[in-house]
Amino acid sequence: MPRPRKIRFVQGRPIVNAFLPSSVPPWGREEVFLPIEGLEAIKLNDFQGLDQETAARMMNVSRQTFGRILAEARAIVADALVMGKILKIEGGHFEMPPRGRRRRGWGGGF
């Protein structure tokens, strides 16, 4: 029996839930799905510039798990950009951190 998954913390829900290629009509386009914790990993590491160890602690996962989440998220985003697919941000296995667990600098959204 596999080990139960640890809850991953995210700072908030994204302000947008999809990106569409502008030059191609949306009907009939293939979609890819980016889990919300994948967006959180990209945000913490690539956008905010945090190292993986710090970002992993903020998400309540190991550094190795964070690295895997980040690599999978980058692959999904690259697929959408290169192949002109609709990128939908939804789903995943996450929670907002409890009030007592919030750290300085944790905002209410993306």
Task: Report how far residue 30's alpha carbon sits from residue 21's, in angstroms, rounded to the nearest whole number.
Answer: 11
pLDDT at 106 over 80: no
* Residue 20 token pair: 């569409």
pLDDT tens digits, 13-68: 899 999 998 877 767 789 999 999 999 999 999 999 999 999 999 999 999 999 99
Task: Report how far residue 21's alpha carbon sits from residue 28's, in angstroms, rounded to the nearest whole number.
Answer: 12
Q: Is 60 left (phi over 0), alpha (psi -120 to 50) or beta?
A: left
Task: Report how far residue 39's alpha carbon sits from residue 75's, in angstroms, rounded to the nearest whole number.
Answer: 12
